[in-house]
Amino acid sequence: MLTRDLYKQFKSFDREKMQAVLIKVYLEGVNSAETSNIDLDEVRTVIGSVKGIGEKRLDEIMAAIGEYMDNKDQKENE
């Protein structure tokens, strides 16, 4: 949360100090995003435990999820 005191500190920063703070915040966000990957084996196990989902349907679902993840990665790299 941006408190009044923190806001006053930001106003007093020079360019180098502000750049260092922003880089630190950015890198923390990147690290946080990288650690929230999905374990596809766990997803497969959970979906497979649903009554009525057979091996063939499970393979189709996992293929669709894999395709989605590949498309998402391609869009992020553009």
Distances (CA, A) of 55 to 9, 13, 39, 58, 59: 58, 59, 19, 5, 6
| CA angle (36 as vertex; 33, 64 as ends), nearest 5 | 110
pLDDT for the residue numbered 36: 53
The domain containing residue 5 runs over which residues? 1-36
pLDDT for the residue numbered 62: 93
Instruction: State how far the Cα of 28 lies from the Cα of 34, in Å rounded to an integer.
Output: 10
Whether this prediction's pTM lies above 0.85 is answered by no
Tell me what the pLDDT averaged over the chain comes to.
85
Residue 35 has pLDDT above 60, yes or no: no
* Top-confidence residue, 31 or 46: 46
* Top-confidence residue, 18 or 38: 18
Residues 25 and 46 in one domain: no
Residues 45 and 28 in one domain: no
When divided into structural domains, the chain yields a total of: 2
Instruction: State how far the Cα of 18 lies from the Cα of 55, in Å rounded to an integer.
Output: 54
